[in-house]
Amino acid sequence: MTHQFDTVIIGSGLAGLRAALEAAGAGNVAVLSKLYPTRSHSTTAQGGIGAALGNEEPDKPEWHFYDTVKGSDFLGDQDAIEIMCGDAIRAIIELEHMGVPFSRTPEGRIAQRYFGGHTKDFGTAPVRRACYSADRTGHAIVFTLYEQCQLKGVKFFPELFVLDIVIENNRCHGVIVLEISTGEIHIFSSKVTLIASGGYGRVFKTTSNAYVSTGDCLSILYNRGIPLEDMEFFQFHPTGLYGLGILITEGARGEGGILINGKGDRFMERYAPTIKDLAPRDMVCRAILTEIREGRGIDGKDYIYLDLRHVPKKTIKERLPEITTFCKTYMGIDPSEQPIPVIPTAHYAMGGIPTDIDGRVLMDEKGSVMQGLYSAGECACVSVHGANRLGCNSLLDTVVFGRKAGRAIKEEIGRDTAGKNKKEDIVGARHAVPLLERSKIMIDSILKCNGKERLANIRTELQDRMMEHCSVFRDEKNLKGLIESIRNLKERTKDIYLKDKTRKFNTELIDAIELNHMLNISEVIASSAIERKESRGAHYREDCPERDDTSWLKHTLAFKTDKEIEFRYKPVNITRFKPEERIY
């Protein structure tokens, strides 16, 4: 079945919804999602969205700009960062007017709280910058944008799985998808396609990411010749529930929570004397694991405590209700009475599909644009996060650059004539036909597999090895061993066995395709980590522990070739803040 739309958006998270809302002003818009739209991973974002409103104390966009650059370990592109921080206030007020139920001050203003790496006066002290809706901020914004998209006539197609992206002659013509409920394959032909498919944290054993975060679209584009940028940088959040990885928002520390080790010490005072527990996430993760490595975990075990017992119960009840529920449900503890056992958990991808500030996908280090293809959100790399994302900047990234991509799409479609558009629809459908046949052959071959390997075993082994050798601490020897293991796992996937041979709601088939994408993405991450011989932000090489601005103040672009991955580089855009020592 073939569908024709002016704009097709893959992903119903915040970036996809905000882009859809903007693009709806020009032509018809389809949003395709693996899930029901309001089940997207954006709904799990807890703590807040950053903007220098100054509602609780003085703040300025330029301080936000500086914090983001410094937090990125100076790898973020400062032109893009300045746009994001400068547009933040407008974006928050716009969301408020759309109906987002932000928490309020006694005077009725949008409430703000402390968050990691947010400071005043260029780093002198913490500042309240995080706008929030209790600890369900992402949930509140997703539902609001979904309602607004419905009002604008955006068409939603839930439970569709992307099999391929139609690219021909440096132009994107649409996508090939599998309808999960029926097993049928569809062509979505479009003038413009936007990828907003989220992250890929499921390549790690312990993660806060949803099960759908497997990097499918990044892997597809990588296979199509689009490079992936800065893939060595993957952020671990300091406070995941021990043994589960479920996120405990940084807002818990923003409300006064502290990290303590097995001796009862507030150890972050040693690592970041000025802002302590509110240091950037990469620094806090390394501090936690250092404490554990040196034998100061709780009772000598591999976790520490997040202590909220001194925080007023009313504050916890009103501002942190979701984490209270998580702790009671999964750990059997009340955080107002008992400390929470936590460990770093894989959380956010700083790298991804290279784009310009309007979301146009870039094909190389020279900035060549892939026509008709855009990307925004966690799957994209514009690069506002550089080597380490500050808390609250993920939601801000999605709404600022989702909107910018939507506006660029709207302008592009508006420039086309009706006759030209109709012709392009036909061309797009024609280009999709061979890919459609290839997708059918791929699915048939997977369903016919009768090997000895089980998918779950291969996936678990991948996640275990990625967690062990490519997480917070890395070194060349272990990374090389990891890459060899990944390539062996790729060979083993050729000998898999699927118990379910049907086509309707065949989740085992989806798992098999996702596993191939996860292996693809994991190899790029590990290879990029070997290539960058320094430590910067979330990428910490124990065998190269110093930051090297002379050799490595540049972005990594990984290209797929017939043999090894090819790496190329492009400079970091530095406009105002020169690299400095990263002390907090």
- Predicted confidence (pLDDT) per residue in 425-470, tens digit: 555 557 677 888 899 999 999 999 989 999 999 999 999 999 999 9
What pLDDT sits at residue 429?
Answer: 59
Please tell me whether residues 445 and 554 are part of one structural domain.
yes
Please tell me whether residues 285 and 224 are part of one structural domain.
no
Please tell me whether residues 189 and 252 are part of one structural domain.
no
- Which of 296, 324, 344 is the endpoint of a domain? 344
Kindly state whether residue 118 falls inside one of the protein's structural domains: no
- What string of DSSP letters covers 400-431? HHHHHHHHHHHHHHHHS-HHHHHHHHHHHHHH
Run of H or E residues at 62: helix 61-71
Q: What tokens were used for 341?
A: 């056992």
- Which of 281, 309, 344 is the endpoint of a domain? 344
Rounded distance between C-alpha atoms, residue 48 and residue 207, angstroms: 19
Please tell me whether residues 225 and 244 are part of one structural domain.
no
Label residue 264 left, alpha or beta by phi (over 0 means left) and psi (-120 to 50 means alpha): left
pTM, rounded to two decimals: 0.95
Exposure letters 277-291 (e unless 16+ CB within 10 A, then b): bbbbbbbbbbbbbeb
Kindly state whether residue 333 falls inside one of the protein's structural domains: yes
Kindly state whether residue 544 falls inside one of the protein's structural domains: yes
Which DSSP symbol is given to 217?
H
Residues involved in catalysis: 281
Please tell me whether residues 393 and 453 are part of one structural domain.
yes
* Nearest-10 crossing angle of helices 418-447, 507-531: 100
Kindly state whether residue 381 falls inside one of the protein's structural domains: yes
Please tell me whether residues 502 and 443 are part of one structural domain.
yes
Kindly state whether residue 331 falls inside one of the protein's structural domains: yes
Whether 359 contacts 404, CB under 8 Å:
yes
Rounded distance between C-alpha atoms, residue 53 and residue 67, angstroms: 15
What pLDDT sits at residue 418?
Answer: 44
Please tell me whether residues 325 and 445 are part of one structural domain.
no
Please tell me whether residues 283 and 355 are part of one structural domain.
no
Domain range spanning residue 519? Answer: 1-43+136-233+350-578
Residues in the chain, pLDDT under 70: 416-429, 431
User: Strands 185-195 and 2-10: what pairing?
Assistant: parallel
Say how many domains are in the chain: 2
Kindly state whether residue 75 falls inside one of the protein's structural domains: no
What pLDDT sits at residue 415?
Answer: 82
User: Strands 185-195 and 171-179: what pairing?
Assistant: antiparallel
Kindly state whether residue 86 falls inside one of the protein's structural domains: no
Please tell me whether residues 209 and 267 are part of one structural domain.
no
Rounded distance between C-alpha atoms, residue 392 and residue 113, angstroms: 11
Rounded distance between C-alpha atoms, residue 95 and residue 249, angstroms: 21
- Which of 316, 344, 372 is the endpoint of a domain? 344
Please tell me whether residues 476 and 531 are part of one structural domain.
yes
- What distance lies between CA 71 and its chain's CA centroid? 17
User: Strands 304-307 and 49-50: what pairing?
Assistant: unpaired
Which DSSP symbol is given to 136?
-
CATH for 21: 3.50.50.60
Kindly state whether residue 27 falls inside one of the protein's structural domains: yes
CATH for 245: 3.90.700.10
Please tell me whether residues 460 and 318 are part of one structural domain.
no
Please tell me whether residues 223 and 279 are part of one structural domain.
no
